[in-house]
Amino acid sequence: MVGPPPLQGLNVLEFAGLAPGPFAGLLLADAGANVLRIDRHTSNAQAVPTADLLTRRKSSIAVNLKSQSGIDVIKELVKSADIIIDPFRPGVLENLGIGPEVLRAINPRLIYGRMTGFRRDGRYASMAGHDINYLAVSGVLSRLGRSGDKPHPPTNILGDFAGGGATLFQGILLAIIAREKTGEGQIVEANMVDGANYLATFTRQSLKIPIGHHPRGENLLDGGCPFYDTYETKDGKYMAVGALEPQFYAALLQGLGLGNQDWENRRLDRESWPEMRRTFETIFKSKTRSVWEGIFDGTDACCTPILEYSELEMDVSREGDQRPAVTLRGTPCLAVGEKGVNPTVHGQGPGVPGNGYVGQLLSPGQGGENALRNWFGWTKGKDFDIKNGGIVLKPKSKL
């Protein structure tokens, strides 16, 4: 018998944004929190979904933050909220009169999470930027890419999501723990420069020791080493090799048909690496990926297929079923896939459409009336109305 998800009962107000802020909200929602997205109001008859796909289990209300009536709605909601997610540049919500000092005065238990790209107190604080810029000024981007090639960003996983949204989520959880001791909320500030840089602690410190002191792309773990690299197969697919330890390297050589040819003694001889790489490339290209899988599956050669999401989506036996990031045996998070066989592994509850592969768009106002009723006991017509696409409180409402 499992208990409810760990964050059940917590109310989160997420101001609409893209990537890191919504991802922090998604992590909270998957852990059981109630997440209400605050969208910009629209006077259109039909609300248009935003580009945000990270909407799992969230609801939305549209609020005109440029009007006093809209600000009043936020201040009223904050009375029953546990967490705020502010994804804007420094000063945006403060200029609207709903910065952390104002809202925390209304609700001292409020945890006010703020997400920026650059440091709030740094030289780039007032500048626009994206993931690539945050990685660039952090130093992390200088270490990403092949030898002799320009620095290359790994899409926006490292800055937006790992260094940004996931780091803000971590900070919010720490603030929740602290609140249990003090009874007070606090301001939680995360930025993608510091978040990405913290994740790169080992890489940065490795610059001072032999494992990582060579130029970009010429080290043990960044593509410089032939037994920690990727190789194309006969059918145009790829295998990943990570045979770092001697015993794993020996198993790799056996699978490649290179045993007892003195390659074992040249494992760490960097002068031999170019020849070793060429040899590996030729051998891997001689067979299809499926053949190599048959050779290496079940061995300690640290040689695995590079699977594409299109394959994983169609074949869950390849570990393609999407699950929560961590497993809590007693209070599992909510399911990511549509069906969870074992709640302590796959997450509990009915899950959501798309199995974690298809994001669901959320229109401004979608599900908002139910959320307001369930969270705060508000009903349309009695406690609030919708005017010009945005929610406004009823003048005589006793809330």
Least confident piece of the model among 99-108, 133-142, 185-194, 390-399: 390-399
Query: How far is it, in rounded angstroms, from Cα 276 to Cα 176?
Result: 52
136 in a domain, yes or no? yes
Name the average pLDDT for the chain: 93
What are φ and ψ of residue 202, in 5° steps? -65, -45
Domain finish residue from 305, 331, 362:
305
Domain CATH number, residue 280: 3.30.1540.10
Q: What is the pLDDT of residue 399?
A: 43
What are φ and ψ of residue 314, in 5° steps? -90, -15
Q: What is the pLDDT of residue 342?
A: 80
Residues 286 and 150 in one domain: no
Q: What is the pLDDT of residue 86?
A: 97
Report which of residues 265 and 341 the model is more confident about: 265
Give percent of the chain above pLDDT 70: 97
122 in a domain, yes or no? yes
Residues 48 and 153 in one domain: yes
Q: What is the pLDDT of residue 340?
A: 67
Place of tokens 């609300």: 47
159 pLDDT higher than 90: yes
Length of the chain as a residue count: 399
389 pLDDT higher than 90: no
**What confidence tens digit (pLDDT) does each residue in 54-74 have?**
999 999 999 999 999 999 999
Q: Token pair for residue 184? A: 């007070």
Averaging pLDDT over each range in 161-170, 261-270, 375-384, which range is the top one?
A: 161-170
Q: What is the pLDDT of residue 397?
A: 43
The closest alpha carbon to 39, from 57, 11, 58, 20, belongs to: 58
210 in a domain, yes or no? no
Q: Containing domain of residue 60, as a range? A: 11-199+321-393
Q: What is the pLDDT of residue 127?
A: 93
Residue 160 annotated in active site: yes
165 in a domain, yes or no? yes
209 in a domain, yes or no? no
> Residue range 147-176: average pLDDT?
96
If pLDDT is split at 50, 70 and 90, which confidence band does 113 have?
very high
Residues 98 and 185 in one domain: yes
Residues 298 and 358 in one domain: no
DSSP assigned state of 334: B
Report which of residues 45 and 83 the model is more confident about: 83
Query: How far is it, in rounded angstroms, from Cα 144 to Cα 124?
Result: 22
Q: Token pair for residue 1? A: 């018998």
Q: What is the pLDDT of residue 398?
A: 44
> Residue range 313-321: average pLDDT?
88
291 in a domain, yes or no? yes
Domain CATH number, residue 51: 3.40.50.10540
Query: How far is it, in rounded angstroms, from Cα 393 to Cα 74?
Result: 10
211 in a domain, yes or no? no
If pLDDT is split at 50, 70 and 90, which confidence band does 98 have?
very high
Residues 386 and 281 in one domain: no
Residues 187 and 77 in one domain: yes
Residues 146 and 286 in one domain: no
Residues 294 and 340 in one domain: no
Measured CA to CA in angstroms, residue 142 lies from 1, 132, 158, 173, 204 at distances of: 49, 11, 13, 31, 11
396 pLDDT higher than 80: no
> Residue range 259-284: average pLDDT?
95
Give percent of the chain above pLDDT 90: 85
- What is the pTM for the complete model shown? 0.94
Residues 27 and 144 in one domain: yes
Domain finish residue from 305, 332, 354:
305
Please classify residue 29 by burial: count the beta carbons closer than 10 Å to its beta carbon, then call 0-12 exposed, 13-18 middle and 19+ buried: buried
Which position among 39, 82, 160, 321 bears the catalytic label? 160
Residues 245 and 171 in one domain: no
If pLDDT is split at 50, 70 and 90, which confidence band does 49 have?
confident
Query: Count H helices, E strands: the chain?
Result: 14, 11
Domain finish residue from 305, 334, 364:
305
> Residue range 122-126: average pLDDT?
93
Angle (nearest 5°) at CA 107 between 122 and 10: 90
> Residue range 234-252: average pLDDT?
98
Q: Please, which residues bridge with residue 35 across strands?
A: 12, 58
316 in a domain, yes or no? no
Domain count within the chain = 2
